[in-house]
Amino acid sequence: MGKIIFLSYLFLPIMSVVNSQTPDKLTSKEIKEGWILLFDGTSTKGWTTTQGLEVPSGWVVSDGCITAIKGGKGGDIITKDEYSSFDFSVDFKIETGCNSGIKYFFTRYERGGNLGMEYQIIDDINGEDNKQENHLCGSFYDVLPAEASKKKVNAPGNWNTIRILATGKKVEHWLNGVNILTFERGNIQFTDAVALSKFNKTEPAFGMVDKGHILLQEHGGVVSFRNIKIKIIK
């Protein structure tokens, strides 16, 4: 009996750690800090297509993840709400060769159509679109590259954690707890980089909108997301 009691106490802290890391659940600390879950782990509540329709069957919710399935043609999906200054976090897992992304400040431009600034998700080694530095994982897609020396990406089939911190005009891209890119929307570095990108003819200027949706990109490959949460910064 004494051994059983001892073992019970031994496993208590282990169980506590596991419970504190349950996917798609906020800790009491996160709740106090103002974090909001954008995905409940069981449904597509709070999400829609870019046309305002229900999330199609090409996206599957299972095991606490939302997954764009191969050949499902689910298209991109967006949050129903829009955000301005925020701290955003999400875990992602891709198959080998996959290309996807998280877009933020996604909205309709007067010229250019529906656009958002993209945190690129891609298999840097086997992905087809891996020839430009600002097309690699963690970059501000087609505009600014992530700092390669700081970047540590877990291989396809494993989870990675993204953080996008947008405070006013300042934006930070984080990957697995490390800041890999910082820029300020509208400064010379930003406008020069946008001028060289495929987004150089938008109106208003690309990336200079005040608010927009968060978008999960479907690009043909299998990508899963979980622990999607946001904290609004006032």
How far apart are the C-alpha atoms of 144 and 189, rounded to whole Å?
9
**Domain count of the fold of the chain:** 1
| pLDDT at residue 4 is higher than 60 | no
Task: Note the pLDDT tens digit of each residue in 42-75.
Answer: 999 999 999 999 999 999 999 999 999 998 999 9
Residue 155 in any domain: the answer is: yes
Percentage of residues of the chain with pLDDT beyond 70:
91
Q: Collapsing DSSP states into helix, strand and coil, what is residue 187?
A: coil
Among 76, 57, 66, 67, smallest CA distance to 37 is for 66
Higher pLDDT, 114 or 72: 114
Give the domain range for residue 93. Answer: 25-232
Residue 198 in any domain: the answer is: yes
The per-residue pLDDT for 21 is 55
CATH number of the domain enclosing 169: 2.60.120.560
| Full-model pTM | 0.90
Residue 19 in any domain: the answer is: no
Residue 14 in any domain: the answer is: no
Burial class (CB in 10 A: 0-12, 13-18, 19+), 79: buried
Among 26, 24, 34, smallest CA distance to 233 is for 34
State the CB neighbour count (10 A cutoff) for residue 102: 24
How far apart are the C-alpha atoms of 76 and 50, rounded to whole Å?
7
Average pLDDT over residues 31-43: 97
Residue 195 in any domain: the answer is: yes
Mean pLDDT of the chain: 92
Residue 3 in any domain: the answer is: no
Percentage of residues of the chain with pLDDT beyond 90:
88
Task: Note the pLDDT tens digit of each residue in 137-176.
Answer: 999 999 999 999 999 999 999 999 999 999 999 999 999 9
Residue 125 in any domain: the answer is: yes
